[in-house]
Amino acid sequence: DAGITQSPRHKVTETGTPVTLRCHQTENHRYMYWYRQDPGHGLRLIHYSYGVKDTDKGEVSDGYSVSRSKTEDFLLTLESATSSQTSVYFCAISESGGVAKNIQYFGAGTRLSVL
Amino acid sequence: GNSVTQMEGPVTLSEEAFLTINCTYTATGYPSLFWYVQYPGEGLQLLLKATKADDKGSNKGFEATYRKETTSFHLEKGSVQVSDSAVYFCALHTGGFKTIFGAGTRLFVKA
């Protein structure tokens, strides 16, 4: 199994509070991603990183920010949580280096409930 | 733009039945195609892949053939087991950093 740890695994928070989710990898892969998974929508990309301090927006980035200060850690912050951000969040990593190598490896997910 | 469309679920089968989950794609260039599987309470994991037209990916009894002429990558298994119950995602990658995932198809297999 790829060494990807997401923390926390479960979190319940109140509307308006900031929340930070952490993804930690031990694979030294360059690329890291945050997705959210909602019924009927599959996986939607929030933000991704292609190196330390290099990040970019995905398709559903509003209300989220990210930071990557070290290769192994990718943080997702909900600046002021809303009920629409209740979801399961997945971190993924990939080695890339060409089309054939872009397999993504996923963490176990964080279930977030915003009340 | 690039997109993936897969059949809506849930799909419910009896053990040892034949499985097909349809997947079609729209993409510029020559994408790589993937099937990922998500077991309950877990993240996605790669099931199989194909990187060029007419390639067949296979793993754990599952197969899918990259059909450029029909822009399809249907997942098949000859005899499903209860342990195959999961959500299956078709995905494509055209280069760069991002993979496009389909909405997922939930499979239930009854004993």
The residue among B25, B32, B98 with the most chain A CBs within 10 A of its CB, best to mutate, is B98
Q: Is the pLDDT of residue A22 over 70?
A: yes
Query: Between A39 and A87, where is the model more confident?
Result: A87
Say if A42 is an interface residue toward chain B (CB within 8 Å): yes
Half-sphere exposure of B12 (CA within 13 A, CB side): 2
- Determine, for residues B103 and A41 on separate chains, whether the beta-carbon distance falls below 8 Å: yes
Q: What is the DSSP string of A5-66?
A: EEE-SEEEE-TT--EEEEEEESS--SEEEEEEEETTTEEEEEEEEEETTEEEE-TT-TTEEE
- Determine, for residues B32 and A105 on separate chains, whether the beta-carbon distance falls below 8 Å: no
Half-sphere exposure of A38 (CA within 13 A, CB side): 13
Q: What is the pLDDT of residues A50-75, one digit of tens each?
A: 999 999 999 999 999 999 999 999 99
Alpha helices in chain B (DSSP H): none
Mean pLDDT of chain B: 94
Q: What is the three-class DSSP state of B40?
A: coil
Q: Is the pLDDT of residue B84 over 70?
A: yes
Reduce the secondary structure of B81-107 to three states and give it as a string: CHHHCEEEEEEEECCCCCEEECCCEEE
Residues of B whose CB is below 8 A from A42: 89, 101-104
| Cβ proximity of B45 and A106 under 8 Å | yes
Closest in B51, B97, B101 to A100, CB measured? B51
Q: What is the pLDDT of residues A78-115, one digit of tens each?
A: 999 999 999 999 999 998 666 556 889 999 999 999 99
Burial of B23 (0-12, 13-18, 19+ CB in 10 A): buried
Query: Mean pLDDT over residues B18-31, rounded?
Result: 93
Task: Give the pLDDT of residue A98.
Answer: 64
Query: Mean pLDDT over residues B25-53, rounded?
Result: 93
Residues of B whose CB is below 8 A from A108: 41-43
